[in-house]
């Protein structure tokens, strides 16, 4: 560290001491401490000339990642060493051979996996998706690669404030799209929650700040309520001689925001903003009995909601989560969720697979949820030849899903994602069973393949050797295994038909004395205006191609020449690549909507989110429709920014007061006499706004409706919403997504 300045040395040494404190549980011997020290020295020397965007010495980042691995995920010395070295091969002169000679073969394998998936994926669609795929491919081999990558992403998100706004949006979207669901599936609740919250902080800063402020204001009230609610329970637990701790867990900002958006409720209407967690210090052998004993005590004092009992102790979730949940009515008329678990269960809930490894020997078969999931991922990886983006989408299906528990005819328990169908169950039994499936019996009743299963169902699959997979099956299966196997089977059938078409084409070319080679294939693809040669062969086999047209392009030399066909040259449009070249790649380039910046380039407003001037927006380069303008909080924004970051453009509004845009407003209220007249009079007469449509319905004195109106910009829309809120009887007025 001789070349670091004195102030840098102080920062680095403080960070390193913090890492040593955090890794105390992992360092069992002096040799463990020496390995960490050695990795620190190697990384510090390698990164000596590098700095982060924030101006700090770069080595502070690997130290922070190693500390997250040790302190927040609970990983061991090998993972801490690899976290310290994770950027050395990618960014410095150190090679994988150096890593192996200095530390060992396992460290080399993990660093190699991390190097392959490094960086922010915003270079091109294929590179970005391939990097995601590489990360997933490492899962069955060594899950520590993913743990360290998640720690790396978490620290990058914590320090995202030093990045440009467009980078914040792209990285935040990517994190929300894949990394947070991956942390969820690996059982890292704390990491998953913070990744979601930080993504929201940068994607929707105003809404994040609003919820954070409201939580801070209501903190004291929540604490008083928790103390009052838990007081009688504490006394009874002590009387019974149980060792325990009680915590109040507040719902994450992202979860609250998501509930507001999906349930169309306000912050004040969310009743489960917090939950009570009772954690027992009890031997593994007594866990189940003691948890149910606590449940009995809680329900002696407070009446439970029978529909909200969740027993994840008898049947743990797929990510290893174990807990007993019940929702009870408090004396003040509020529903309160109570979670009952042991110290071991709590660690598994917070640190997921890392803690699962530690307890696996004591748990027997009950702890096999992770192993089953990893085996399914291995099967998906080894038997998947889909397009990369399809593979990513298939894999993502296995990340965020509630589970149901169903039974085979012999009583074997199977775990499937919620909304799984009878066909998903068939593929879960075996790929051949799924492919040959023609129907199913659920609880002894015949049901179609698309029948959605419920927990407790017993399923018998009916097969036939004559069955072949249908493309329509993809519309209702939800498991990644079913989707990938169906696509694979359809592709194999497609290729077989295409081979038959190729034989027919070969015979036709033989008649015309034309050779089948690269040049003739190129000319035929142009002649019939198809995407590629396999599609041409497929259409020939299906009888959709008139082969007699081929003789019209045979020249005197016996070769095919498409130029012999007289065609009218279409007007040349700018290609996607040309548009990207024009606008992409320049961080400072911003498109001004309403200016003449988009000469010869079409742009339209996306119907999925209907942006209007004043909205925070971005441009997305489509293949056929020019540039589409989306709101930053569009339902499709996260996927577009994470999958196709290189096609996302920075966009700003120029004043467009003379132009009108369609906006939709949703409202609810009490059905007072004349209220509809008040609404229409305000819009049409007082504000001179044109209405495109008005839909309204009433039920038991409560009405709700939607209005489509033409406004100039968000300020104009905000004015309309503000005025409507003042109409007596209206209790909620919001712009729809």
Of 3.40.50.1100, 3.40.605.10, 3.10.20.30, 3.40.50.720, which CATH number belongs to 401-472?
A: 3.10.20.30
**Alpha carbons within 13 A on the beta-carbon side of 621:** 23
Which positions ≥6 away from 120 have C-beta within 8 Å? 167, 170, 171, 174, 645
Which positions ≥6 away from 316 have C-beta within 8 Å? 322, 366, 367, 369
Rounded to a whole number of angstroms, the distance between the first and last alpha carbons of the chain is 54
pLDDT digits (tens, 9 = 90+) for 181-230: 888 877 788 899 999 999 999 999 999 999 999 999 988 988 899 999 99
Helix axes 165-174, 189-203, angle to 10 degrees: 150
Query: What's residue 367's pLDDT?
Result: 43
DSSP symbol at 664:
E
Q: Please report the sign of the dihedral spanned by the C-alpha atoms of residue 631, residue 632, residue 636, residue 640.
A: positive
Q: Is 590 left (phi over 0), alpha (psi -120 to 50) or beta?
A: beta
What residue has token string 């010395």? 77
CATH of domain 213-367: 3.30.460.10
pLDDT digits (tens, 9 = 90+) for 665-697: 988 887 777 778 888 888 877 666 878 888 888
Q: Which residues pair with 663 in a beta bridge?
A: 709
List the structure tokens of 19.
């890492």
The answer to whether the CB of 123 falls within 8 A of the CB of 130 is no
Name the residue among 314, 366, 303 with its Cα closest to residue 338: 303
Rounded Cα distance, 325 and 272, in Å: 13
Query: What's residue 573's pLDDT?
Result: 56
Strand (E) or helix (H) holding 292: helix 287-301
The answer to whether the CB of 579 falls within 8 A of the CB of 602 is no
Query: What's residue 566's pLDDT?
Result: 56
Burial of 47 (C-beta count, 10 Å sphere; 0-12/13-18/19+): buried
Active site residue 91: yes
Rounded Cα distance, 487 and 247, in Å: 47
Rounded Cα distance, 243 and 286, in Å: 12
Which positions ≥6 away from 627 have C-beta within 8 Å? 579, 591, 598, 601, 602, 603, 604, 619, 620, 621, 649
Query: What's residue 586's pLDDT?
Result: 47
Burial of 304 (C-beta count, 10 Å sphere; 0-12/13-18/19+): middle
Query: What's residue 249's pLDDT?
Result: 84
Rounded Cα distance, 197 and 158, in Å: 10
The fold adopted by the segment(s) 661-735 is: Alpha-Beta Plaits (3.30.70)
Rounded Cα distance, 61 and 56, in Å: 9
> Residue 48 CA to chain centroid, in angstroms?
36
Domain ranges of the chain: 6-207, 213-367, 401-472, 489-564, 576-653, 661-735
List the structure tokens of 641.
């920014």
> Residue 102 CA to chain centroid, in angstroms?
37
Q: Which residues pair with 710 in a beta bridge?
A: 662
List the structure tokens of 25.
């549980």
Rounded Cα distance, 578 and 724, in Å: 46
CATH of domain 6-207: 1.10.3210.10
8, 45, 56, 91: which one is catalytic? 91
Rounded Cα distance, 676 and 698, in Å: 11
Rounded Cα distance, 620 and 603, in Å: 9
32, 56, 90, 390: which one is catalytic? 90
Given the DSSP bridges, would you call strands 437-442 and 413-417 parallel, antiparallel or unpaired?
A: unpaired
> Residue 716 CA to chain centroid, in angstroms?
34
Which positions ≥6 away from 159 have C-beta within 8 Å? 52, 53, 54, 61
Name the residue among 115, 130, 178, 135 with its Cα closest to residue 641: 178
Rounded Cα distance, 50 and 17, in Å: 21
Low-confidence ranges of the chain (pLDDT < 50): 1, 119-126, 358-368, 400, 568, 584-588, 598-600
Query: What's residue 668's pLDDT?
Result: 86
């Amino acid at each position: 560290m001789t070349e670091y300045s004195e102030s840098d040395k102080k920062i680095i040494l403080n960070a390193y001491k913090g890492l040593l404190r955090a890794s105390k549980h992992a360092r069992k011997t002096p040799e463990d401490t020496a390995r960490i020290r050695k990795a620190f020295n190697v990384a510090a020397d390698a990164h000596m000339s590098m700095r982060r965007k924030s101006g700090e010495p770069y080595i502070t980042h690997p130290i922070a990642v190693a500390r997250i691995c040790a302190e927040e995920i609970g990983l061991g010395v090998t993972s801490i060493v690899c976290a310290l070295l994770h950027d050395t091969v990618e960014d410095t002169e150190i090679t994988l051979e150096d890593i192996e000679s200095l530390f060992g073969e396992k460290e080399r394998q993990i660093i190699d996996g991390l190097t392959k998936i490094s960086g922010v994926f915003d270079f091109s669609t294929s590179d970005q998706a391939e990097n995601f795929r590489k990360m997933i491919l490492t899962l069955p081999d060594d899950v520590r690669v993913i743990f360290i990558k998640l720690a790396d992403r978490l620290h990058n998100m914590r320090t995202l404030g030093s990045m440009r706004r467009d980078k914040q949006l792209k990285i935040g979207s990517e994190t929300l799209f894949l990394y947070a669901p991956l942390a969820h599936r690996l059982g890292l609740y704390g990491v998953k929650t913070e990744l979601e919250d930080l993504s929201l902080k940068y994607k929707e800063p105003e809404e994040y700040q609003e919820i954070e402020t409201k939580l801070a204001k209501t903190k004291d009230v929540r604490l008083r309520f928790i103390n009052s609610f838990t007081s009688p329970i504490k006394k009874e637990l002590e009387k019974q001689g149980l060792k325990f701790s009680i915590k109040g867990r507040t719902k994450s900002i992202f979860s609250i925001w998501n509930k507001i958006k999906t349930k169309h409720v306000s912050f004040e209407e969310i009743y489960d903003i917090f939950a009570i967690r009772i954690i027992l210090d009890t031997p593994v052998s007594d866990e189940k009995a003691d948890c149910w004993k606590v449940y009995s005590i809680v329900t002696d004092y407070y009446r439970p909601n029978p529909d909200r009992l969740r027993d994840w102790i008898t049947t743990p979730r797929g990510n290893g989560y174990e807990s007993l949940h019940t929702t009870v009515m408090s004396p003040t008329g509020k529903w309160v969720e109570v979670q009952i678990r042991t110290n071991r269960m709590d660690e598994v809930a917070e640190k997921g697979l890392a803690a699962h490894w530690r307890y696996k020997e004591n748990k027997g078969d009950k702890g096999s949820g992770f192993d089953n999931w990893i085996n399914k991922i291995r099967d998906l990886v080894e038997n998947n030849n889909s397009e990369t983006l399809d593979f990513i989408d298939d894999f993502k299906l296995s990340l965020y899903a509630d589970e149901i528990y169903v039974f085979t005819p012999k009583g074997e328990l199977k775990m499937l994602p919620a909304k799984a169908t009878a066909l998903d169950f068939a593929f879960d039994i075996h790929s051949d069973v799924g492919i040959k499936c023609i129907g199913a019996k659920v609880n002894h009743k015949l049901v179609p393949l698309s029948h959605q299963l419920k927990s407790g169902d017993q399923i018998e699959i009916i097969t036939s050797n004559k069955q072949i997979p249908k493309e329509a099956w993809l519309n209702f299966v939800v498991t990644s295994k079913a989707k990938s196997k169906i696509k694979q089977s359809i592709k194999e059938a497609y290729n077989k038909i295409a081979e038959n078409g190729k034989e027919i084409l070969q015979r036709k070319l033989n008649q015309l004395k034309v050779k089948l080679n690269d040049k003739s294939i190129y000319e035929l693809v142009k002649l019939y205006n198809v995407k590629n040669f396999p599609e041409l062969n497929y259409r020939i086999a299906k009888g959709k191609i008139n082969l007699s047209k081929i003789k019209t392009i045979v020249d005197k030399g016996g070769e095919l020449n498409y130029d012999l066909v007289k065609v009218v040259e279409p007007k040349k449009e700018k290609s996607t690549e040309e548009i990207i070249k024009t606008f992409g790649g320049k961080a400072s380039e911003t498109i001004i909507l309403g200016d003449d910046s988009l000469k010869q380039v079409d742009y339209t407003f996306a119907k999925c989110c209907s942006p209007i001037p004043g909205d925070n927006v971005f441009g997305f380069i489509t293949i056929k429709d020019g540039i589409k303008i989306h709101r930053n909080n569009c339902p499709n924004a996260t996927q577009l920014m994470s999958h196709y970051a290189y096609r996302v453009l920075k966009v700003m509004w120029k004043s467009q007061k003379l132009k009108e845009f369609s906006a939709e407003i949703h409202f609810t209220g009490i059905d007072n006499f004349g209220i509809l007249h008040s609404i229409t009079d305000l819009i049409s007469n007082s504000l001179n706004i044109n209405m495109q449509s008005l839909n309204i319905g009433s039920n038991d004195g409560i009405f709700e409706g939607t209005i489509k109106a033409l406004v100039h910009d968000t300020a104009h829309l905000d004015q309309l919403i503000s005025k409507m809120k003042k109409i007596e009887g209206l209790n909620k007025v919001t712009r729809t997504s």
